């Protein structure tokens, strides 16, 4: 056998195994994300459609707990992901998605169900195309990371300030800039998830990478949805 052909065949076989492993990893990430969105949507719909549930939550000081709990989950997840087991990371992610559903239940009190559904499908189409770009592009998107994170922190600060100001003009600017930032983060995070995968990691490590990757993409999706709803949503 020709040694050159032998080496070429071995390299091709190794690459094929890596590509299959990467494909399975990305599918796992998207499946986790999709299931997380289903959990969030179901919780939001049930709570937002049941006065016995949403009145105590949003008609008292509990609304602040509901609004801030998802942020607390994200910080907890970010700091503890390295020490968690894969199964604990999954359970924490599902719990976070349920809590986010409580927070998003308020959209059913403000917007019509038809406009919520339309905005969801617009978001899904936008997210899918941008994530596909992030996965397939040969362009290095890592340079965008610091710029996008600066934009994200700016949006968070502006949003907190606007809670007290109640400025519609500032809210409009936050929504426009926010959509741009989270669209960019979707492409960046997708490429980052792809590049972090390694066939040399054990199953536990790759499982945690998949959960954390799903969290990143889930947050981008939910934020794009909420920001788009400010433009496309029809109020009750």
Query: DSSP string covering 103-135, please?
Result: HHTTHHHHB-HHHHHHHHHHHHHHHHHHHHHHH
What is the largest distance, in Å, between two alpha-carbon atoms of the chain? 78
In the structure, what pLDDT confidence band is assigned to residue 10 with cuts at 50, 70 and 90? very low
Query: Do 205 and 112 meet the contact criterion of CB atoms below 8 Å apart?
Result: no
How far apart, in whole angstroms, are the C-alpha atoms of residue 81 and residue 213? 11
Give me the pLDDT at residue 6, please. 47
Distances (CA, A) of 153 to 146, 147, 178, 198: 11, 10, 10, 30
Q: How far apart are CA 178 and CA 227, in angstroms?
A: 7
Q: How long a stretch of residues is the chain?
A: 236
| % residues pLDDT > 70 (the chain) | 91
- pLDDT score of 131: 94
What angle is formed at CA 72 by the lines to CA 68 and CA 126, rounded to 5 degrees? 75
Which ranges constitute the DSSP H helices of 49-197? 51-58, 62-80, 86-104, 107-110, 113-136, 142-165, 168-196
The number of distinct structural domains making up the chain is 1
Question: 192: burial class by Cβ within 10 Å (0-12, 13-18, 19+)?
Answer: middle
- What is the rounded average pLDDT for all residues in the chain? 83
Model confidence pLDDT, tens digit, residues 62-107: 777 777 777 777 777 777 777 888 888 899 899 999 999 988 888 8
pLDDT category of residue 53 using cuts at 50, 70 and 90: confident
Report the distance separating Cα 190 and Cα 141, nearest Å: 10
Q: Tell me which range, 26-40, 68-82, 137-151, is most confidently predicted by mean pLDDT.
A: 26-40
Short-list 229, 223, 204, 236, CA closest to 37: 223
Residue with tokens 């947050």: 219
**pTM given for the model:** 0.86
What pLDDT was estimated at residue 89? Answer: 87
Residue 108 lies in domain = 3-232
> What would the two tokens of residue 5 be?
């052909």
């Amino acid at each position: 056998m020709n040694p050159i052909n032998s080496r070429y065949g071995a390299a091709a076989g190794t690459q094929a195994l890596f590509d299959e492993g990467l494909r399975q990893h990305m599918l796992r990430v998207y499946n986790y994300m999709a299931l997380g969105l289903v959990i969030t949507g179901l919780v939001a719909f049930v709570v937002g459609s049941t006065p016995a549930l949403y009145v105590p939550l949003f008609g008292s000081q509990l609304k602040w707990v509901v609004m801030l709990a998802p942020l607390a989950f994200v910080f907890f997840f970010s700091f503890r992901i390295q020490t968690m087991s894969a199964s604990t990371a999954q359970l924490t992610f599902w719990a976070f998605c349920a809590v986010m559903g409580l927070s998003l239940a308020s959209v059913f009190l403000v917007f019509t169900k038809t406009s919520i559904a339309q905005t969801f499908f617009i978001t899904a189409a936008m997210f899918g195309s941008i994530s596909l770009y992030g996965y397939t592009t040969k362009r290095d998107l890592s340079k965008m990371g610091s710029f996008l994170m600066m934009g994200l922190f700016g949006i968070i600060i502006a949003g907190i300030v606007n809670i007290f100001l109640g400025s519609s003009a500032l809210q409009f600017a936050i929504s426009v800039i926010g959509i741009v930032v989270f669209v960019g983060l979707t492409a960046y995070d997708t490429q980052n998830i792809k590049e972090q995968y390694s066939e040399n990691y054990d199953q536990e490590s790759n499982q945690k990478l998949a959960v954390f990757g799903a969290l990143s993409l889930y947050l981008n999706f939910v934020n794009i949805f909420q920001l788009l709803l400010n433009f496309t949503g029809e109020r009750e």
